[in-house]
Amino acid sequence: MSTHENPQDHALVQLIAPDGTPAGDTDVGLKPDELRDLLRMMILARRLDRECMALQRQGELTVYPPFEGQEAAQVGSAYALEPEDFVFPSFRELAAGVVRGVDVVKYLQYHRGIWHGGAYEPLANRFAPICVPVATQIVHAVGWAMGAKLDGLRACSLAYFGDGSASEGDFHEAANLAGVFRAPAVLFCQNNAWAISVRLEEQTAGPIFKRAEGYGFPGVRVDGNDVLAVYAVTKAAADRARAGDGPTLIEAMTYRMGPHSTADDATRYRSSDEVNAWRKRDPIDRYLTYLLAAGVAEEAFVADCEDEAKEWVADIRTAITSVGPPPADELFAFAYADPPEALERDRRSVEESGDG
Ligand SMILES: Cc1ncc(C[n+]2csc(CCOP(=O)(O)OP(=O)(O)O)c2C)c(N)n1
Ligand SMILES: [Mg+2]
């Protein structure tokens, strides 16, 4: 059994067991309507993720990296943040973006091949542009946190990254800097067992959360498919950061149920037994079972969430499929105050061709 799947992992913070029964103190300080909202967000996110896969298969998006299976890791962590905090995502954090209130249609313009990083306004929801060069966003997040500290803001940053990204130099540089400067940053690793087709133990030999000790700050490993546990550890890390006590590394153990992206065929490198074993640890089923047993939600609420999700994604589909390409002259617009002659010539030729 791999280190990723070890059920005897004593370090793992878990509040709800995979069968939905409580496994710890489930009072994380959320009110019943907030507890229900976590479920609602996960249901909305999953529906959206599946719609995006369909949109890509129908040629409406160029490429899409699905997050199915990782809803609790993303929703639980994003829900723990305050509006003034700043999220630095990779390319798989649409569910976190939904929680932050990011304009999904503008987000998807990246995946439609229209605008780098998404067309949303990063400052509006404090959600940085989609970041594909793996691990670079961790450095951005720590830099932002250092700036926030210098400015005397009571806010933290949160960087999302994957297990594979934790093997990049940028992770280590960012972690070292965060430790030395006690930056108010939360380094949130979604360990989904795979970096495209490379399994965890092929690219790192030890638990990721333990690396924090070497950088002089705490590291915690949490069950990433347990939304309450993820919320609780992220809230504690964010509170700690805002209080001036420095960074925390969180390693959320989860699993990507789908392919790495729509350009990948995961059946070529992993077994259906492995995928099926993780299906039994589904984050939404687990939390739903818990909420129903605790009397916090009823079936009617779930049905309402599903209806809402259906309507919501239908509106998103209509909106994103009607977004056409931006004017071609924008290709020339933002790089130079005084464009060089060669570029000016290109611009004129586009203009004269009528393609602009
Ligand atoms: C600097 C850099 N190297 C390589 C790639 C190609 N690439 C894209 S995603 C990925 C793997 C990322 O794995 P992980 O960090 O575990 O995140 P996950 O995709 O599992 O969410 C790689 C190697 C890239 N985007 N950027
Ligand atoms: Mg990964």
CATH number of the CATH domain containing 101? 3.40.50.970
**Residue 107 is a catalytic residue:** no
Can you tell me which residue has the tokens 């939304």? 227
- Evaluate: CB of 164 within 6 angstroms of ligand 1: yes
Whether the per-residue pLDDT at 116 is higher than 90: the answer is no
For a substitution probing ligand 1, which of 196, 257, 262 has the most ligand atoms within 8 Å of its CB? Answer: 196
- Evaluate: CB of 92 within 6 angstroms of ligand 1: yes
Q: Are residues 193 and 93 in the same domain?
A: yes
- Residue 153 forms part of a structural domain: yes
Q: Which of 36, 221, 260, 317 is catalytic?
A: 260
Cα of 234 from ligand 2 centre, angstroms:
19
User: pLDDT at position 1, please?
Assistant: 46
- Evaluate: CB of 194 within 6 angstroms of ligand 1: yes
- Distances in Å between the alpha carbon of 344 and those of 218, 283, 334, 338, 348? 54, 53, 13, 9, 6
- Evaluate: CB of 47 within 6 angstroms of ligand 1: no
Cα of 46 from ligand 2 centre, angstroms:
18
Cα of 136 from ligand 1 centre, angstroms:
11
Q: Which of 57, 269, 279, 345 is catalytic?
A: 269
- Residue 314 forms part of a structural domain: yes
DSSP letters for 109-127: HHHTTSSTT-SS-HHHHTB
Query: Quick one: average pLDDT of 124-136?
Result: 97
User: pLDDT at position 355, please?
Assistant: 66
Q: Are 246 and 212 in contact (CB under 8 A)?
A: no
Cα of 13 from ligand 2 centre, angstroms:
20
Q: Which of 256, 281, 286, 317 is catalytic?
A: 256
- Distances in Å between the alpha carbon of 317 and those of 32, 65, 109, 274, 314? 32, 17, 12, 32, 5
Q: Can you tell me the distance from the alpha carbon of 92 to that of 76, in angstroms, rounded to the nearest whole number? A: 15
Quote the crossing angle between the two packed helices 136-150 and 169-180, to the nearest 10°.
20
Which domain, by its residues, includes 90?
Answer: 7-325
Q: Are residues 320 and 257 in the same domain?
A: yes
Cα of 208 from ligand 1 centre, angstroms:
16
- Residue 137 forms part of a structural domain: yes
> Whose Cα sits closest to atom 21 in ligand 1?
162
What residues have CB less than 8 Å from 118, skipping those under 6 apart? Answer: 102, 106, 107, 108, 109, 110, 129, 130
**Residue 256 is a catalytic residue:** yes
Q: Are residues 274 and 339 in the same domain?
A: no
Q: Are residues 284 and 339 in the same domain?
A: no
What residues have CB less than 8 Å from 338, skipping those under 6 apart? Answer: none
Q: Which residues have CB atoms below 5 A from the ion given as ligand 2? A: 162-164, 192, 195
User: pLDDT at position 7, please?
Assistant: 61
Tokens of 256: 């990507």
Encode pLDDT of 199-224 as tens digits: 999 999 999 999 999 999 999 999 99
The fraction of the chain above a pLDDT of 90, given in percent, is 91
Q: Can you tell me which atom of ligand 1 is nearest the CA of 165?
A: 15
For residue 343, name the pLDDT band (cuts at 50, 70, 90).
very high
Residue of 124 and 356 predicted with greater confidence = 124
Tokens of 304: 């309402």
Q: Are residues 265 and 335 in the same domain?
A: no
Q: Are 182 and 246 in contact (CB under 8 A)?
A: yes
Q: Are residues 95 and 155 in the same domain?
A: yes
- Residue 78 forms part of a structural domain: yes
- Residue 116 forms part of a structural domain: yes
Q: Are residues 342 and 279 in the same domain?
A: no
User: pLDDT at position 3, please?
Assistant: 59
Encode pLDDT of 8-53 as tens digits: 787 999 999 999 999 999 999 999 999 999 999 999 999 999 999 9
For a substitution probing ligand 1, which of 67, 74, 110, 134 has the most ligand atoms within 8 Å of its CB? Answer: 134
**Residue 287 is a catalytic residue:** no
Q: Can you tell me which atom of ligand 1 is nearest the CA of 132?
A: 25
Cα of 27 from ligand 1 centre, angstroms:
36
- Evaluate: CB of 70 within 6 angstroms of ligand 1: no
Q: Can you tell me the distance from the alpha carbon of 38 to that of 218, in angstroms, rounded to the nearest whole number? A: 26
Q: Are residues 163 and 219 in the same domain?
A: yes
User: pLDDT at position 162, please?
Assistant: 98
Q: Are residues 343 and 269 in the same domain?
A: no
For residue 300, name the pLDDT band (cuts at 50, 70, 90).
very high
What mean pLDDT value characterizes the chain? 96
Q: CB-based burial of residue 208 (10 Å sphere; 0-12 exposed, 13-18 middle, 19+ buried)?
A: buried
Number of domains making up the chain: 2
Q: Can you tell me which atom of ligand 1 is nearest the CA of 161?
A: 15
